[in-house]
Amino acid sequence: MPIGSIPDPFLLVFQSFDEFLIIGHEDPDGDCLGSQIALASFLNRSGKRANALSSGPFRRAEINDLADRVADHVPPMEKGSKRAAVIVDCSSIDRVGYLAKEIEGLPTLILDHHASGGDPVASAASCIDPGAPSVTYLTLLLIEGLGGIPTSEEAQLLLFGLATDTGFFRHVTHGGEEILSVASRLCRYGAVPKDAYQTMYGNRSLVSKKLIGRVLDRAQPRVGGKVLTSYLTVDDEKELGFGERDSDTIYGQLQAVAGVDAVLFFRDEEPGEISVGLRSNLVLDVGAVAQQFGGGGHKHAASFRSREQRNQLERKLLSVIETMYS
């Protein structure tokens, strides 16, 4: 499927239901929630019934105003309704959290832009385009493919998600004119880039900046300076206080260091569990790295979780990465 289109079979299956549960992955970001809320809004005003749902948690400052717009449990189904679940921004059932149990047995549609990660959902239909920059990008194409155009509010949500997953377009490379064309269409529909930028980067707490400082202070060059590693622990948040997850700023700062191609960022999550974020500038395929550890993503952005000790996990990752660079 070329970038810039939704396959006709997916559109036809989508039109055969009258009620939708729009579900995203756990620990959602702006791309995930933006697509969920915009798609649910479009379907509701198009004569369908739709609810956006999430298992949470909502730990990112930029999505604070969106968290109360998604439900946390599946509502009762109306008699005679033809209901389907739509999973966005992931294609593995393990990533939607406890909601996976609540949608068992429902026809499931997948809308995603990730190439790898987790156990795939047995879906009635899927639109998975690893070449797409964000799931909000695909959501706009879906809305247009179903014969609609977004309202200004929906367009703002979609632009916010697109900006989130492109680092406010700093990851757009040669050949990305279609991405900018979609951004232009969203502006014509009423989206305001300035507002999206403020949502992404504004209104951060001082604690979040102190946590970023700690990450930068711990950064260590690896693999001859091609890779930077750093981490945050539970103790850091106990000492400094809980701060918003300002991951994009962290990656942007570390990736800007001269000679660095890739960044590995370790963060303590639940007791005994670590999340690992991987980013690359040019060479390293971090999606392929993450897939070897049960995660997934794209060539330049990926993640996974592990219950191994951080130092041991870092050694394993660096061993894989050194082989890939050689």
The residue whose two tokens read 């008699």 is 79
- The count of domains in the chain is 2
The structure tokens listed for 50 are: 């739709």
Taking the alpha carbons at both ends of the chain, their separation in whole angstroms is: 33
- My answer on whether 243 and 165 are in the same domain is no
Between CA 293 and CA 64 the distance in angstroms is 30
Q: What is the pLDDT of residues 190-234, one digit of tens each?
A: 999 999 999 998 878 888 889 999 999 999 999 999 999 999 998
- My answer on whether 34 and 78 are in the same domain is yes
Q: Which domain holds residue 310?
A: 206-325
The residue whose two tokens read 């379907």 is 43
- My answer on whether 254 and 169 are in the same domain is no
The structure tokens listed for 268 are: 């303590």
Between CA 63 and CA 60 the distance in angstroms is 6
Q: What is the pLDDT of residues 109-140, one digit of tens each?
A: 999 998 665 555 667 789 999 889 999 999 99
Domain annotation covers residue 266: yes
Report whether 71 contacts 51 (CB < 8 A): yes
Could you read off the pLDDT tens digit of each residue along the chain, which spans 326 residues? 445 579 999 999 888 999 999 999 999 999 999 999 999 999 999 999 999 999 999 988 889 899 999 999 999 988 889 999 999 999 888 889 999 999 999 999 999 998 665 555 667 789 999 889 999 999 999 999 999 999 999 999 999 999 999 989 988 888 889 999 999 999 999 999 999 999 998 878 888 889 999 999 999 999 999 999 999 998 998 888 766 677 888 999 999 999 999 999 999 987 889 999 999 999 999 999 999 999 888 888 889 999 999 999 999 999 999 999 98
Domain annotation covers residue 1: no
- My answer on whether 297 and 222 are in the same domain is yes
Angle, alpha carbons 23-24-30 (nearest 5°):
130
- My answer on whether 229 and 100 are in the same domain is no
Per-residue b/e over 158-194, b at no fewer than 16 CB within 10 Å?
A: bbbbbbbbbbbeebbeeeeebbeebbebbeebebebe
Between CA 216 and CA 265 the distance in angstroms is 11
- My answer on whether 298 and 156 are in the same domain is no
Domain annotation covers residue 12: yes
- My answer on whether 34 and 141 are in the same domain is yes
- My answer on whether 166 and 48 are in the same domain is yes
Q: What is the pLDDT of residues 290-305, one digit of tens each?
A: 999 998 888 888 899 9
- My answer on whether 137 and 84 are in the same domain is yes
Last residue of a domain, one of 150, 168, 201: 201
- My answer on whether 165 and 102 are in the same domain is yes
